[in-house]
Amino acid sequence: MRPFDYWWRLTGTAFAFAFIFFGGGVLALALLPLLAGARRERVQLVIHGIFKGYIKALDCLGMIRIDIEGREKLAASGGRLVIANHPSLLDVVVLMALLPQAQCIVKHELWNHRFLGPLMRRAGYIRNDLDPDALIAAARASLDNGNSLIVFPEGTRSRPGQPPRFRRGFANLATMTGAPLQLVIITCTPPTMVKGDPWWKIPPVRPHFRVVIGECLDADQYMRYPYRSIAARSLTRSLETYYAEKLSNA
C-alpha cells in the first residue's frame, strides 16, 4: 500500500497546487461579478469558506492530517494580531480557514496580480509595499473594524530544524496599534511544502499539521519602556524565545 499511497498523494498535491496557482485565478474571476458591491466582510467570509472547504478536502483525500487545539480561543480574535510561525506554504490557508473575518498583509505581486489582485483589493487586504505610516494606518483601521490581522513575523517560510528568526515589523505594528497578540504555533511532521522545495518533493508519509492556539498577549505590557523602538526589540526577542521553546518541545 505504501507505493499507492505515495503516488496518490503526489497526484493530489499536483491538483492542490494547480488549484492555488491557477484555479484560484479562475475562481476569482468567477466570483468578482457575484461579489460586486459586496461589503469587505462578505468577501472575507466567502474566501474563508473556500479555504475551509479546501483544507477539509485535503484532509479527507488523505493529502494531509490536521489537528486544531484551542479553536475556541479564536471566537474572540477580532481586533487582534494573529501571530504565527511559518513552516509550510499551507499556513496562511489554514489560518484563514479558521478565521471568518481575517485580513492579511500581502505581497505587492499578489496585490497587482491580473486575476487575484481585484479579489485581494475587494477583501480589503493590505499591500506590503505601502510606506510605513500608511501601512500602520491601514492595519489600525482593520483592527478597529474587528478583523483578525494575520502576521508571520519571520516574513517567509522557515527552514526545518532552524530556530525562528523574527523581523521587527510585527512588533512595530503591535506597539503602534496597541492590539493584543493571539499566538499560534504551527508544526508539520514530516515537513512539507517548505521554502525552496519543488511541489513534487513530498514526504514518504502523510504530513500531520498541528495548529495550537496559544495565549493572547497584551501589547501594553511592552509599553513600559521609555522608547517604542526598545519595546519593539524586547517583544521580538521575547516571542523568538517563546516560539523556539514551543517548537523544540513539539
- Number of helical H runs and strand E runs in the chain: 9, 7
Coil vs helix vs strand at 221: helix
Cα separation, 210 vs 230, whole angstroms: 33
Instruction: Write out the H or E segment, with its range, that includes residue 126.
Output: strand 126-127
Compute the CA torsion angle 73, 76, 81, 84 (nearest 10 deg). 20
Enclosing H/E stretch for 83: strand 81-84
**What's the pLDDT at 43?**
86
- Residue 231 reports pLDDT greater than 80: yes
- Say if residues 14 and 200 touch (Cβ distance below 8 Å): yes
| Residue range 148-190, pLDDT digits in tens | 999 999 988 998 888 899 999 999 999 999 899 999 999 999 9
Through-space distance between the first and last CA atoms of the chain, rounded to whole angstroms: 29
> Which three three-digit cell numbers place residue 45?
467570509
Q: Which helix (H) or strand (E) holds 121?
A: helix 117-122
- Residue type for position 21: F
Across the chain, mean pLDDT equals 88
Encode 137-165: b = buried (16+ Cβ within 10 Å), e = exposed: ebbbebbeeebbbbbbbbeebbeeeeebe
Instruction: Please give the Cα distance from 107 to 126 (Å, whole number).
Output: 9
Residues 6+ apart with CB under 8 A from 102: 44, 48, 82, 95, 96, 147, 148, 149, 150
Closest-CA residue to 232 (of 240, 182, 246)? 240
pTM of the predicted model over 0.85: yes
pLDDT of residue 23: 67
Per-residue pLDDT at 80 exceeds 90: yes
Type of residue numbered 48: H
Q: Where do the domains of the chain lie, and which CATH numbers do they carry? A: 2-248 (3.40.1130)
Q: Which of 27-41, 187-201, 214-228 has the highest mean pLDDT?
A: 187-201
